[in-house]
A and B are shown apart, each in its own frame.
Chain A
Amino acid sequence: MAAPMRPKDYHTLMSKTTKTGDPSRRRRSHHGDEELVHFRIVRFMMESGIKLRMTSVPMATAAIIYHRFFSICILQDYDPYLIGMTAISLASKVEEEHLKIRDVINVCYRTRHKDKPPLESQTELADLRQAMASCELLIMRVLGFNVTKELPHKYLLHYLKSLGDWIDASVWDRTPIRDTAWAMLRDLYHGKVCLQHEAQHLAVAVLYFSLLCFGIEVPLNNQAETKWWKVFSEDITEEEIKNIIEQIMDVYDLEQRL
């Protein structure tokens, strides 16, 4: 089975750089840097996603596709922007929130090249389209055609709703705990932490963390036989929650390093 594409079809619009094939240069790549690159790319994806009016769920799916791809493949071998852009379009297909490929390309191009005029040439667009179609298949093959993953969003919503009834209404309404939790859930997709834990655990950890941020305690939790997180997810331990929280904090640390 031959390649899905030939070198002459390739286009490098998404990449600002010229070829850097020098192995010594490649070797210099550093794990920490890689995380930063991924952070930056996911932010690029999120920004494009907002402009494309994508909802949280396909956005999260896109980030997961992106991270999974690069947990299998080497960063230096691919243009991460192209992978990110393709992940957006693939996620929109998977989650049935259809986006036109042309829109995705135009928006991503603008997001990537803010200083350049919008993409006008039809050939460039066609090239990028071709590149994306090939890249899409590549991603699917790399991921073994397994492009769906359970997301924590619905769990978090359930948890927020039931916890909101349990916590004193005045406290609950005064603090933006729902927004914090939701924002945190969205942010954690910048890092690989989203791949490493079950959906339910992520949701619980996010909730735990946002309660912690605002210093809210779940009423009677210290007397309860079953802690509140056990109620939501039977198989989670407090250590595990703390472990996830640490990873989330790492993601925020990355932002500062940018």
Chain B
Amino acid sequence: MKKIKRRLSLTLRGGRGVDESLSELAESMNIEESNAKDNGWPSRSGKQKGSSKALSKAESAAIVTLQPLMEVEGSLSKKQQLGPNISRMVSFFEGEPKLSKHFIRGKQHYRTMPSLARKSKTEPDFFLNDGASFRTIDKGRRMRKSESDSFFDEGTKASDKLFPIPTIDSNFNLPLWRRLSKGRMKTADFHSSSRLCIVHENARLGSDGESDQTSGTSNDDVHSPVKLRHKYPLQRRLSEDITKRLSLPADIHLPDNFLEKRSLSPPFPEGRLSRRMRRASLHEIGFGKMESYTKLDKLGEGTYATVFKGKSKLTDNLVALKEIRLEHEEGAPCTAIREVSLLKDLKHANIVTLHDIIHTEKSLTLVFEYLEKDLKQYMDDCGNIMSMTNVKLFLYQLLRGLNYCHRRRILHRDLKPQNLLINEKGELKLADFGLARAKSVPTKTYSNEVVTLWYRPPDVLLGSTEYSTPIDMWGVGCIFYEMSAGRPLFPGSTVEDELHLIFKTLGTPAAETWPGAMTNEDFLMYNFPHYEPEPLVNLAPRLEADGQDLASKLLQYEAKWRISAEEAMKHPYFNTLGPRIHKLPDTASIFTLDEIRLAKDPGYKSSSVGSSATMPRVPTSRSAISEPPGMCEEFLP
């Protein structure tokens, strides 16, 4: 233990400011405290009070032990001697030409990397630890490679996954080198497992439907000690997997040749391969390939992305293709990285679904489900007079999607009608998570320019950079009003103009309506005239009393007084929707309930609509929307 202590103290010096880290985290405390219960935080009321005191103690203690940065660097550099190990390392780039043996048929395809991801946590890792021998044995054999890789999964190469794995002894989970060193694994075993790798590679199905297994490797006399059981009819299980995963319609059209191919292929092993198998199947079908989609009209263009309407050749469904250009100087745009990593985890009926990701040399294409309109177009199309029933339904769906995000500590940060997509059934979905963030530790100031000016809460307009879920709720209030009244609530063109409009309507903040503003330098500097609040009834006369109440709760100046998405869903305004709506599972649309029906919008003029649908069957081409000044340029399907 002493040893440890001594060494600890060594590294203690090497750290950056403990105090900084602590205080940086301390800022988060207020926000995080509401989540304390989930964190296993003891919720004794007495404890909470003393906590800030304890922290300042921690800070002061930390400062004492800190050493100047320069010294740290010095000590590091002395130790930083590069041993002989380095010389063994092959640069990423130098390693590259070796890949050429994975190129086949002269195609200029690049397999992501030689043995990319042959291992995931649940799998044994002997492939990984014996890359060298694996490769050597590989030599001279023809291997197929995947046309491209599907990105939904952790980089696992599709081609690995179709072949049954051997039955495994108890040592299997150990890395190869360890097993060898323990002497438990005999040479013979070693060879057989190496061979299995090869079979793995070769078991990959060719695109022409033949299995390579029979063609180049038969002289190896490979046999694998595998027992197989078939549980489901192949075809059914496959379609189920796919539809479940990608929320495609149940009647997905799998290409006939694909299904034929499946029946020729080695049968699926059961159990733990299922995930990999599904992945492989998805790729085999055509996910992750640009060839699987036809580009149609261009829908819009932003600073780094262009959105096209497209059609999937696999499902015949329309999709939105968001093409992100990659020649940007700073690498992949940070919004794109965040959008992908967030959307992959969000599965909800009111959040746009990310079907697929396609990677090419010059661009990254995200394939989203296609929805005909955004809320702005919807309102335009019905002459800005929406049925009040639909207002309620849309608002509820918006809150539902948002509540799901907020529960997972994700802020949208850019709510506006252009980012709310609506399909012909009236389902509303949140889109454009480019500015959204996983709300982990609020470590730093978020960039100030995030929410489109019209829907930006006053605290952010006044320079607040520490915000939480209420930042989205103000925007909900604005959108709610806009749907009811048919015009934007605060269409300001500059920050000052925006604030002015807000205060003119809702009254200039006073100590009792917004305590925080009284000390805000920006607010005092602007020196706004005194306005009395206008009653909300005058603003949106069509809105019923419960709705007025909800709107006023959303449009609170003080961020922490704003109603949360979860509470808002329980507001009496939604009582007319019935009790069942609160019990729906996340992935079910509210229109699965019989009592929920879209109404006809009074302002909507159309002759081509049948039944109760309020929108044309044929999707209109979504020409780029004229964005008001100050709007974020970014545009999503």
B is a partner of A: yes
Residues of A within 8 A of B4 (CB): 213, 249, 252
Q: A73-B117, A93-B334, A179-B18 are in contact. Are A173 and B136 (CB under 8 A)?
A: no
Q: A55-B444, A164-B58 are in contact. Are A4 and B21 (CB under 8 A)?
A: no
**Does A106 sit within 8 A of B, measured CB to CB?**
no
Bitwise, B80-123 to A at CB < 8 A (1) or not (0) is 10110111111111111110000000001110111111011100
B103 to chain A, nearest CB (A): 10
Q: From B291, which residue of chain A is reached at the shortest CB distance? A: A1
**Does B135 sit within 8 A of A, measured CB to CB?**
yes
A182 to chain B, nearest CB (A): 5
A152 to chain B, nearest CB (A): 10
Residues of B within 8 A of A16 (CB): 82, 86-87
Q: Judge whether A96 and B444 touch: CB under 8 Å.
A: yes
Q: A43-B80, A148-B440 are in contact. Are A80 and B110 (CB under 8 A)?
A: no
**Does B261 sit within 8 A of A, measured CB to CB?**
no
Q: Judge whether B7 and A180 touch: CB under 8 Å.
A: no
Residues of A within 8 A of B29 (CB): 157, 161
B418 to chain A, nearest CB (A): 23
The 8 Å CB contact of A1, one of B10, B28, B359, is B359
Tell me the A155-197 residues at the B interface (CB within 8 Å).
155, 157-158, 160-162, 164-166, 172-173, 176, 178-180, 182-184, 186-187
Q: Judge whether A4 and B361 touch: CB under 8 Å.
A: yes
Q: From B59, which residue of chain A is reached at the shortest CB distance? A: A178
Q: A1-B359, A146-B341 are in contact. Are A82 and B91 (CB under 8 A)?
A: yes
Q: Which of A19, A56, A80, A145 has the most CB of B within 10 A?
A: A145
Residues of A within 8 A of B344 (CB): 144-146
Residues of B within 8 A of A173 (CB): 57, 61
The 8 Å CB contact of A77, one of B16, B113, B330, B441, is B113
Tell me the A10-52 residues at the B interface (CB within 8 Å).
10-12, 14-21, 23, 25-31, 33, 36-37, 40, 43-44, 46-47, 49-51
Q: From B52, which residue of chain A is reached at the shortest CB distance? A: A161
Q: From B36, which residue of chain A is reached at the shortest CB distance? A: A158
**Does B270 sit within 8 A of A, measured CB to CB?**
no
Residues of A within 8 A of B109 (CB): 1-3
Number of interface residues of A (CB under 8 A): 120
Q: Judge whether A137 and B326 touch: CB under 8 Å.
A: yes
A97 to chain B, nearest CB (A): 6
Q: Judge whether A97 and B330 touch: CB under 8 Å.
A: no
A140 to chain B, nearest CB (A): 7
A158 to B290 CA separation, bound complex (whole angstroms): 47
Q: Judge whether B152 and A144 touch: CB under 8 Å.
A: yes
Bitwise, A59-77 to B at CB < 8 A (1) or not (0) is 1000000000001111111
**Does B69 sit within 8 A of A, measured CB to CB?**
yes
Tell me the B507-544 residues at the A interface (CB within 8 Å).
none
Tell me the A71-127 residues at the B interface (CB within 8 Å).
71-80, 82-83, 89-90, 93-98, 100-101, 111, 114
Residues of B within 8 A of A142 (CB): 112-113, 116-117, 154-155
**Does B438 sit within 8 A of A, measured CB to CB?**
yes
Q: Judge whether B135 and A23 touch: CB under 8 Å.
A: yes
A173 to chain B, nearest CB (A): 6
Choose the segment among B38-46, B372-380, B391-399 that binds chain A (4+ C-beta atoms closer than 8 Å). B38-46
A131 to B4 CA separation, bound complex (whole angstroms): 39
Number of interface residues of B (CB under 8 A): 119
Q: Judge whether B61 and A179 touch: CB under 8 Å.
A: yes
Q: Judge whether B15 and A182 touch: CB under 8 Å.
A: yes
The 8 Å CB contact of A26, one of B88, B117, B329, B330, is B88
Tell me the B427-461 residues at the A interface (CB within 8 Å).
437-438, 440-441, 443-444, 446-447
A160 to B178 CA separation, bound complex (whole angstroms): 39
A50 to B307 CA separation, bound complex (whole angstroms): 39
A43 to B20 CA separation, bound complex (whole angstroms): 20
Residues of B within 8 A of A58 (CB): 443
A166 to B24 CA separation, bound complex (whole angstroms): 23
Q: Judge whether A137 and B332 touch: CB under 8 Å.
A: yes
B465 to chain A, nearest CB (A): 11
**Does B222 sit within 8 A of A, measured CB to CB?**
no
Q: Judge whether A161 and B51 touch: CB under 8 Å.
A: yes
**Does A256 sit within 8 A of B, measured CB to CB?**
yes
Choose the segment among B124-132, B192-200, B247-255, B479-487 that binds chain A (4+ C-beta atoms closer than 8 Å). B124-132
A114 to chain B, nearest CB (A): 6
Q: From A245, which residue of chain B is reached at the shortest CB distance? A: B4
A90 to B340 CA separation, bound complex (whole angstroms): 14
Choose the segment among B70-78, B232-240, B312-320, B602-610 that binds chain A (4+ C-beta atoms closer than 8 Å). B70-78
Q: Judge whether B441 and A57 touch: CB under 8 Å.
A: yes
B172 to chain A, nearest CB (A): 17
A95 to B21 CA separation, bound complex (whole angstroms): 14
A176 to B8 CA separation, bound complex (whole angstroms): 12
Residues of A within 8 A of B94 (CB): 10, 12, 15, 18-19, 21, 79
**Does A143 sit within 8 A of B, measured CB to CB?**
yes
Q: From A18, which residue of chain B is reached at the shortest CB distance? A: B94
Q: A97-B443, A234-B40 are in contact. Are A21 and B132 (CB under 8 A)?
A: no
**Does B331 sit within 8 A of A, measured CB to CB?**
yes
Choose the segment among B143-151, B547-555, B586-594 that binds chain A (4+ C-beta atoms closer than 8 Å). B143-151
Residues of A within 8 A of B11 (CB): 183, 186-187, 252, 255
Residues of B within 8 A of A158 (CB): 32, 36, 39, 41
A20 to B69 CA separation, bound complex (whole angstroms): 37
Q: Judge whether B447 and A74 touch: CB under 8 Å.
A: no
A68 to chain B, nearest CB (A): 9
Residues of A within 8 A of B444 (CB): 55, 95-97
Q: Could you give 10 example pairs across A and B, Cβ below 8 Å?
A: A2-B108, A15-B89, A37-B86, A47-B73, A73-B116, A89-B331, A101-B331, A146-B341, A161-B54, A232-B41
List B residues at the A interface (Cβ < 8 Å): 1, 4-5, 7-8, 10-12, 14-16, 18, 20-22, 24-26, 28-29, 32, 36, 39-42, 47, 50-51, 54-55, 57-58, 61-62, 65, 69, 72-73, 76-77, 79-80, 82-83, 85-98, 108-110, 112-117, 119-121, 128-129, 131-133, 135-136, 147-149, 151-155, 175, 177-178, 289-290, 326, 328-332, 334, 337-338, 340-342, 344-345, 357-361, 364, 437-438, 440-441, 443-444, 446-447
The 8 closest A-B pairs by CB, nearest first: A10-B93, A3-B110, A1-B148, A15-B91, A144-B154, A93-B334, A79-B91, A27-B132
11 more contacts with CB within 8 A, not counting A93-B338, A173-B61, are A11-B93, A23-B135, A55-B24, A77-B131, A82-B91, A82-B92, A144-B153, A176-B61, A182-B18, A187-B8, A232-B40
